[in-house]
């Protein structure tokens, strides 16, 4: 496929939504950003998203873990790479148990992210 | 003096009464003795006199006899010359009878002579001879006269009667001699008696005086010496010398008294020591507990302090205490309390209790707790007895405890160390992550062929921005976690809310939030940390704005209300029409430490709740019946623990003590 795979970034932090897409574009992806899990669910990107880069803590609504559960329930098996600033082992364990590809702590290096992406989207 | 003391000791065996009685007895006996001797002398003289009288009587009797005899003879001679027979017959018998009576008297007198008198033994026989012959003589003479033998009469008279005259005269002379002898003896006896009497009287007087003097001296000494010792002992006791003991001698009343006195001294000493000991305990206790005691006589304003109270006030012990002196130490802001207390005391209230501060000369402050109780003294005057305790350290530790507790609750509420680290890390990691991502992107862009300079520039710019944001985070974290005491002040929540609103108005308007407010007009002032409360309000506003950020089908109305609740609390509510929350997610809501926005970091609901709870209030959220949620907090108007209540004055807020 010459078309660049679609990545969806869901994070309430605006600086993440600013900086991450450029990096991902450098990696060769197309990117859509969403500021909340609800926004993502309401969008039409679910089907096309090859990989979800998901923040854990998103106050005011569904958390990343909630979205992960919701997608599984809905049968939408999108590979998820979690990014978070909080070091909480329990959350990490649960996320991985629920099938997350990778659980990255901010700040993460670009190589770590690339590795995770390669694992999530092997076709690239 | 030895004899005196020995006499005292000797006398000391008797009680004073018998002692004195004995002295009097001795003196009286001596005097009686003297009298006795005098009487003896008088008796002797008297005896002599009696003897003389007796002999005198003899002389008189004999002399009378002689006279009568001579008269008889003379008469007989006359009658014989006159040859008067009748006369003779007539007179002879009475004259003979007279002589007979004289003889009887003489015999009488003689018989009355004291036995030891050497009377002339011839007297009586002579008289008796005459007595026996006289009647016959007279009879013969009469017979002869009757016979008119006058020659024979005259012859008989001359030869027989006349010679008798000489005998009688000799008799008289003998008796006279006796009388003279007796007289001489009498005179001598008198003279001797006079001497003796003189001696007796003098001797008795002197002796009696001497004995009386000595006895008197001895007895007096035996009384005054112990009395003197008692006096000395009493004086020593009055001076406070408990070691003095009175020497006791003998076993009279004074000795008993001395013993009793000594016992009393020992007992007093014991009592005194006990009192001193309990005084020392009391003083020590007062010192340990930092309590001083005082008495205050209202009418004269006489005030007495215990040593510890002087120490509390930092004044020299023994200084005269006046209300002015006390007032000079009372903290100026608490002086009105002191005046109030004085007024109530002078009005005669039965108890009072106050807390006020002292401002010491070195500027330090002491907290005092005072209680007093009214008493009537013996004369019925009103007097207060009370105690004052220095509760500064308690107050200081209470305040430190309250501060530590609030600090602890704040810190534990907001975070444990691990979580704190995590939250700091979290907040710093956000911009850091941005930096790394942007820098990585920049590198890649620069290594592309051709290099994406514009992109690199943009990413570099974002890197710098994120770096600044990180530093802002640190700064805000530092301010938020600085160990500053909450700065409580009397404030109006409406004003605070208005300020916050005006500050965030641009933000809110950018998010197309429509702001409405219904702020209660009579909202009472609250005491709290203005900055912190404003942070909470800001947090609520931002959350409300966020919750509505995806709402497009209705106006993004945000309603702020303030109202008074229950008379002593104030409530602020922020109502939005946003996405709301489910009951399950409410806990998670309050777990958020911070919200991260482009303009940096604000506090999250967790910290907001801690702040409100530190103000003794509550923060909660309720879903609306329509869309959205309402977040509210309520705080009391005068939170306890931060300041004093009732009669105590808050140094920062004198007005807070009211209502």
- Alpha carbon distance B609, B540 (integer Å): 11
Is B180 contained in some domain? yes
Is A103 contained in some domain? yes
Domain count, chain B: 4
Give the model's confidence band at B654: pLDDT under 50 very low, under 70 low, under 90 confident, else very high.
very low
> According to the model, what pLDDT value does residue B574 have?
95
Nearest chain A Cα distance for residue B495, angstroms: 28
Is B268 contained in some domain? no
H or E element that contains B600 = strand B600-603
Q: Which of B390, B416, B450 is at the close of a domain? A: B390
- Alpha carbon distance A112, A119 (integer Å): 11
> What share of chain B in percent tops pLDDT 90?
21
Specify the length of chain B in residues: 659
> According to the model, what pLDDT value does residue B485 have?
62
CA nearest to B578, candidates B550, B547, B604 = B547
pLDDT at B596 over 50: no
pLDDT at B605 over 90: no
pLDDT at B335 over 70: yes
> According to the model, what pLDDT value does residue B445 have?
92
pLDDT at B510 over 80: no
- How many residue pairs bridge chain A and chain B with CB atoms within 8 Å of each other? 100
Give the model's confidence band at B13: pLDDT under 50 very low, under 70 low, under 90 confident, else very high.
confident
CB-side neighbour CA atoms (13 Å) of B432:
15
A118 CB within 8 Å of a chain B CB: no
Is B593 contained in some domain? yes
pLDDT at B599 over 50: no
Average pLDDT value for chain A:
87
- Alpha carbon distance B367, B369 (integer Å): 7
Domain count, chain A: 1
> According to the model, what pLDDT value does residue B246 have?
85
Q: Which of B228, B254, B276 is at the close of a domain? A: B228
Q: What is the DSSP string of B127-181?
A: HHHHHHHHHHHHHHHHHHHHTT-HHHHHHHIIIIIHHHHHHHHHHHHHHHHHHHH
Look at B128 and A61; give whichever has higher pLDDT: B128
Give per-residue pLDDT as tens, B198-230: 998 898 889 989 988 998 888 888 888 888 888
Q: Are residues B570 and B623 in the same domain?
A: yes
Is A54 contained in some domain? yes
Q: Are residues B20 and B155 in the same domain?
A: yes
pLDDT at B584 over 80: no
Q: Are residues B493 and B453 in the same domain?
A: no
> According to the model, what pLDDT value does residue B642 have?
42
> According to the model, what pLDDT value does residue B387 have?
94
- Alpha carbon distance A29, A124 (integer Å): 9
Selecting from B433, B444, B598 the residue whose C-beta is nearest the C-beta of A108 gives B433
CATH assignment of the domain containing A60: 3.40.50.2300
Q: Mark yes or no for CB contact B466/A26 under 8 Å.
A: no
Give per-residue pLDDT as tens, B565-577: 887 899 999 999 9
Helices (H), B330-391: 335-346
pLDDT at A106 over 70: yes
Structure tokens belonging to residue B178: 């006796």
Q: Mark yes or no for CB contact B550/A26 under 8 Å.
A: no
pLDDT at B91 over 50: yes
Is A10 contained in some domain? yes
B308 CB within 8 Å of a chain A CB: no
Helices (H), B240-322: 253-289, 307-313
Q: Are residues B493 and B629 in the same domain?
A: yes
Q: Are residues B376 and B420 in the same domain?
A: no
**Stretch A86-114: mean pLDDT:** 87
Q: Are residues B428 and B312 in the same domain?
A: no
Q: Which of B455, B484, B513 is at the close of a domain? A: B484
B7-11, B536-540, B608-612 — most confident range: B536-540
Beta-sheet strand order (sheet of A80-84): A30-34, A6-10, A49-55, A80-84, A102-105
pLDDT at B651 over 60: no
Three-class SS of B402-437: HHHHHHHHHHHHHCCHHHHHHHHHHHHHHHHHHHHH
Q: Mark yes or no for CB contact A110/B595 under 8 Å.
A: no
**Stretch B40-60: mean pLDDT:** 87
Farthest-apart Cα atoms in chain A, separation: 39
Selecting from A19, A85, A108 the residue whose C-beta is nearest the C-beta of B438 gives A19
> According to the model, what pLDDT value does residue B426 have?
67
List own/partner pairs for B159-168 with CB under 8 A and 24 or more apart.
B160/B133, B161/B72, B161/B73, B161/B76, B161/B137, B162/B73, B164/B69, B164/B73, B164/B130, B165/B69, B165/B70, B165/B73, B167/B126, B167/B130, B168/B62, B168/B65, B168/B66, B168/B69, B168/B70, B168/B126, B168/B130
Q: Mark yes or no for CB contact B430/A85 under 8 Å.
A: yes
> According to the model, what pLDDT value does residue B71 have?
85
Give the model's confidence band at B349: pLDDT under 50 very low, under 70 low, under 90 confident, else very high.
confident
CATH assignment of the domain containing B116: 1.20.120.30
CB-side neighbour CA atoms (13 Å) of B202:
6
User: Mutate which of B437, B446, B582, B598 to disrupt the A interface (most A C-beta within 10 Å)?
Assistant: B437
Give the model's confidence band at B143: pLDDT under 50 very low, under 70 low, under 90 confident, else very high.
confident
Q: Mark yes or no for CB contact B422/A105 under 8 Å.
A: no
Is A77 contained in some domain? yes
Q: Mark yes or no for CB contact A60/B546 under 8 Å.
A: yes
Burial class (CB within 10 angstroms; exposed 0-12, middle 13-18, buried 19+) of B487: exposed
Is A15 contained in some domain? yes
Residue with tokens 């089908």: B553
Give the model's confidence band at B444: pLDDT under 50 very low, under 70 low, under 90 confident, else very high.
very high
> According to the model, what pLDDT value does residue B611 have?
85
Is A57 contained in some domain? yes
CA nearest to B414, candidates B592, B231, B633, B657 = B592
> According to the model, what pLDDT value does residue B600 have?
39
CATH assignment of the domain containing B607: 3.30.565.10
pLDDT at A99 over 80: yes
Look at B654 and B625; give whichever has higher pLDDT: B625
Q: Which residues contact B591 (CB under 8 A, 6 or more apart)?
A: B606
Give per-residue pLDDT as tens, B272-319: 899 999 988 888 888 888 899 999 998 888 999 999 999 999 999 999
Is B297 contained in some domain? yes
**Stretch B632-650: mean pLDDT:** 58
Is A114 contained in some domain? yes
Is B580 contained in some domain? yes
Do residues B512 and B556 make contact, with C-beta atoms less than 8 angstroms apart?
yes
> What share of chain A in percent tops pLDDT 90?
35
Selecting from A57, A88, A109 the residue whose C-beta is nearest the C-beta of B436 gives A109
> According to the model, what pLDDT value does residue B348 have?
80
Q: Of the ranges B406-415, B445-454, B556-565, which one carries the lowest mean pLDDT score?
A: B406-415
- Alpha carbon distance B625, B57 (integer Å): 171
Nearest chain A Cα distance for residue B604, angstroms: 10
Q: Which domain holds residue B465?
A: 407-484
Q: What is the CA radius of gyration of chain B?
A: 73
**Stretch B596-613: mean pLDDT:** 66
Burial class (CB within 10 angstroms; exposed 0-12, middle 13-18, buried 19+) of B26: middle
Q: Of the ranges B10-14, B104-108, B622-626, which one carries the lowest mean pLDDT score?
A: B10-14
> According to the model, what pLDDT value does residue A86 have?
72
- Alpha carbon distance B451, B346 (integer Å): 96
Q: Which domain holds residue A56?
A: 6-120
> According to the model, what pLDDT value does residue B649 have?
36
The complex's ipTM works out to 0.88
Give per-residue pLDDT as tens, A9-60: 999 888 889 999 999 998 889 999 999 888 998 898 888 899 999 998 787 6
Selecting from A39, A106, A107 the residue whose C-beta is nearest the C-beta of B550 gives A39
> According to the model, what pLDDT value does residue B542 have?
86
**Which neighbouring-strand residues pair with B302?**
B297
pLDDT at B598 over 80: no
Give the model's confidence band at B652: pLDDT under 50 very low, under 70 low, under 90 confident, else very high.
very low
Is A1 contained in some domain? no
Chain A residue at shortest CA distance from B604:
A59
Residue with tokens 């007289």: B183
User: Mutate which of B422, B440, B579, B623 to disrupt the A interface (most A C-beta within 10 Å)?
Assistant: B440
Look at B504 and B587; give whichever has higher pLDDT: B504
């Amino acid at each position: 496929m010459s078309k660049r795979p679609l990545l969806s970034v869901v994070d309430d932090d605006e600086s993440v939504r600013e900086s991450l897409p450029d990096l991902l574009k450098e990696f060769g992806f197309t990117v859509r950003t969403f500021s909340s899990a609800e926004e993502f669910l309401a969008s039409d990107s679910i089907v096309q998203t090859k990989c979800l880069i998901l923040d854990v803590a998103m106050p005011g609504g569904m958390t990343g873990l909630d979205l992960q559960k919701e997608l599984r329930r809905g049968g939408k098996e999108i590979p998820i790479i979690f990014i978070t600033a909080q070091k909480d082992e329990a959350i990490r364990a649960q996320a991985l148990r629920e099938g997350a590809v990778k659980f990255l702590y901010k700040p993460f290096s670009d190589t770590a992210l690339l590795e995770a992406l390669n694992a999530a989207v092997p076709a690239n | 003096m030895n004899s005196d003391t020995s006499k005292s000791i000797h006398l000391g065996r008797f009680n004073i009464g018998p002692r004195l009685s004995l002295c009097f007895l001795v003196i009286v006996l001596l005097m009686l003795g003297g009298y006795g001797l005098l009487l003896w002398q008088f008796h002797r003289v008297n005896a002599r006199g009696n003897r003389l009288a007796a002999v005198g009587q003899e002389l008189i009797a004999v002399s009378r006899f002689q006279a009568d005899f001579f008269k008889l003879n003379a008469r007989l001679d006359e009658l014989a010359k006159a040859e008067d027979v009748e006369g003779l017959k007539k007179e002879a018998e009475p004259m003979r009878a007279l002589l007979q009576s004289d003889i009887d008297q003489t015999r009488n007198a003689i018989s009355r002579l004291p036995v030891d008198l050497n009377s002339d033994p011839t007297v009586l026989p002579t008289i008796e001879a005459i007595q026996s012959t006289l009647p016959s003589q007279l009879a013969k003479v009469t017979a002869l006269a009757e016979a008119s033998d006058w020659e024979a009469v005259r012859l008989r008279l001359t030869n027989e009667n006349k010679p008798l005259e000489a005998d009688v005269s000799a008799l008289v002379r003998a008796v006279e001699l006796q009388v003279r002898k007796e007289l001489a003896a009498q005179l001598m006896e008198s003279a001797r008696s006079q001497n003796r009497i003189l001696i007796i009287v003098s001797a008795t007087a002197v002796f009696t005086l001497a004995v009386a003097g000595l006895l008197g001296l001895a007895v007096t000494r035996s009384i005054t010496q112990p009395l003197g010792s008692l006096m000395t002992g009493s004086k020593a006791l009055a001076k406070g010398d408990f070691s003095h003991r009175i020497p006791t001698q003998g076993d009279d009343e004074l000795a008993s008294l001395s013993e009793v006195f000594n016992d009393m001294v020992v007992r007093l000493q014991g009592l005194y020591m006990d009192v001193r000991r309990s005084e020392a305990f009391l003083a020590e206790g007062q010192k340990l507990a930092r309590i001083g005691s005082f008495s205050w006589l209202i009418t004269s304003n006489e005030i007495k302090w215990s040593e510890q109270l002087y120490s509390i006030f930092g004044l020299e012990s023994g200084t005269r205490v006046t209300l002015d002196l006390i007032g000079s130490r009372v903290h100026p802001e608490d002086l009105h309390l002191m005046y109030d207390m004085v007024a109530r005391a002078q009005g005669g209230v039965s108890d009072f209790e106050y807390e006020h501060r002292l401002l010491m000369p070195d500027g330090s402050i002491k907290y005092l707790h005072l209680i007093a109780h009214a008493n009537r003294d013996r004369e019925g005057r009103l007097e207060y007895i009370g105690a004052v305790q220095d509760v500064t350290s308690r107050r200081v530790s209470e305040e430190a405890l309250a501060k530590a507790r609030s600090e602890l609750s704040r810190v534990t509420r907001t975070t444990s160390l691990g979580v704190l680290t995590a939250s700091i890390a979290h907040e710093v990691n956000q911009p850091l992550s941005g930096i790394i991502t942007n820098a990585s992107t920049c590198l890649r862009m620069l290594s592309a062929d051709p290099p994406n300079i514009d992109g690199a520039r943009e990413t570099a710019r974002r890197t710098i921005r994120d770096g600044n944001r990180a530093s802002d985070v640190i700064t805000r974290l530092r301010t938020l976690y600085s160990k500053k005491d909450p700065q409580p002040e009397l404030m109006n929540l409406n004003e605070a809310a208005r300020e916050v609103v005006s500050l965030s108005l641009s933000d809110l308007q950018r998010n197309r939030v429509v702001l409405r407010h219904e702020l209660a007009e009579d909202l009472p002032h609250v005491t709290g940390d203005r900055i912190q409360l404003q942070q909470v309000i800001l947090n609520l506003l931002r959350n409300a704005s966020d919750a509505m950020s995806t709402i497009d089908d209705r106006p993004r109305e945000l309603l702020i209300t303030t109202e008074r609740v229950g008379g002593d609390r104030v409530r602020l509510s922020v109502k939005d029409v946003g996405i709301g929350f489910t009951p399950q997610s409410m806990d998670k809501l309050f777990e958020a430490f911070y919200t991260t926005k482009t303009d940096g970091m604000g506090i999250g609901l967790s910290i907001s709740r801690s702040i409100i709870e530190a103000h003794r209030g509550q923060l909660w959220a309720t879903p609306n019946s329509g869309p959205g949620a309402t977040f509210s907090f309520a705080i009391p108007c005068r939170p306890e623990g931060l300041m004093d209540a009732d009669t105590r004055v808050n140094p920062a807020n004198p007005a807070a003590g009211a209502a």
